[in-house]
Structure 1
Amino acid sequence: MKIYDVIIIGAGPSAIVAGATAKKQNPEKSMLMVKEEEKGLVPCGIPYVFYRLGNLDKNVMGPKPFTDLGGDVIVDPVENINLSAKTLTVKSGISYGYDRLIFATGSTPVVPSFIPGYDLEGVEYVKKSYNYIKALKKKTDRAKHIVIVGGGFIGAELAEQLAMYPDKSITIIESEAYCFNKAFSGELSKIATEKLKGTKTNVLTSTLAKEVVGDNGKVTGVLLNTGETIKADLVIMAIGYTPNTELARKAGLELNSENAIKVDNFQRTNIKDVCAIGDCSETLGFITGRLDHIMLASTATA
């Protein structure tokens, strides 16, 4: 079994920055980055592959800054971690040992299981996965009536891009009074919402998606709390993200109330020699000085 000084689980922005920084400062140390897919996407650019960029390969990122410094990379998802033995096993069955372990497993879309019909065929998400987004783009290319549930950054940016197609009807459903309400002030959110309406997007604020309706297991529309049903052949849920910490939970790391990995001011977990960074963990706020959970690429790479 090969043993590394440092193993990083994940290959997103935080993993790449951490890996490159660690390798640059400790060139003599052996380091391994374990990723799930060959190609990775720049998270903030995902909505723009649906129109402006057009091609997913214009929005890819990879661990080149890490490998250029001598770091190793494998594409083989981690399936099990033994923290006491300091080993992990990947899907292919190979095990690796480590001296230090870094969790950088990111976040996944919130699945609204409280909305009836959430699991119908034609209900999709904005996952940070090259293969998934590639398949989703093919579905959006075919769809004529697209409903996006959620008016935050991802939902609004996606709606704005899809509205560029003249043959598509795009509706966005937002429960708050304005889109971006949780990110901006009421005044700025109102201005941004009006701008979004100017993109030929049907923006429904102060509105709830009561049910995703379908026929023979396939989406046909979204029933609103107003009683109206919006026609849809594709529904995209964009109501936020949650830390991808199932692997950490199974391994025995302590999580907070938001399911993020609990850390100290130096990103160290409750287990010796194990750290966590990025969307999957808490982060020390620069202004507040408190540990919080902030899922932004700028925070993940700080």
Structure 2
Amino acid sequence: MTGLCQDRVVAVTGAGRGLGRAHALAFAAEGARVVVNDLGVALDGTRGGPESRPAAEQIAAEIRAVGGEAVAHRGDIATTDGAASLVATALDAYGRLDTLVNNAGFLRDRMLVNLDEDDWDDVVRVHLKGHFLPLKQAAAHWRAESKAGRTPRARVVNTTSGAGLLGSVGQANYAAAKAGIVALTLVAAAELAPYGVHVNALAPAARTRMTEHTFAATMAAPPGGFDAMAPENVSPLVVWLGSAAGPGVTGRVFEAEGGRITVMDGWRRGPTADRQTRLTAREAGVTALELLSRADPPLPAYGRR
């Protein structure tokens, strides 16, 4: 490895499995000291015991076993106390925090008419609130550092999804939360730039507990050759975005899948007409149809028939 993140302190949420685990291991391999966050369930699905440590502790131990530095954090990052203790764990263990990777999440998929309020609230809470609160706590620390004359080279990598960028049938709650993360990323990038903080978002496609059953056919590992859906394929871009490299790269959204990286352009103003007067409803409709005839068609939502 290149030591791209040598001595940087990186907190990764939801790092007990899947993408989060891959990110934590990849940062450690590049010299980072890692705070491994996960809620506490062991990798075998139990909640710990004499022979079964919680997932966060297992991944931290895995990093230490190969000569890296890592500590576990088992707090709920969708609560103020849990998010604050995540930052405090980094400061207590290593005296600093350089990078926050917001990754924690889960699915409660339902078609819109069958989606109940609890499934909506639970998914939005973990994904969107679980991004906002750690970001808020880290940002407060970095702002204080900047005001004290110690301007950081801090980085935040948020996790959105193609569902949040294009929509996904059967995932209204997840798609709405992931779209909110994009907006949160844009706002944070603008607000935190004066304090030396870069904030970007990544929409990964990889095999995880969230995707291996929902998209079983496309996520399955091939019998041989390149495993495009392995979560480890996504981590190199996350590590680069979380390093001190790439000055000025902030407020951007990327897709990563296998060996492919795409910059997502997001909303941009397309065809426009200004009549310089108030329109009737019929005139507004004629104008809208004329503009649509000159606009690029939207990309289809995932799962649309």
TM range (shorter): 0.3 to 0.5
Q: TM-score, normalised by structure 2?
A: 0.32
Q: TM-score, normalised by structure 1?
A: 0.32
Structure number with higher strand proportion = 1
Structure number with higher helix proportion = 2
Greater relative CO, 1 or 2 (CA 8 Å, sep 6+): 1
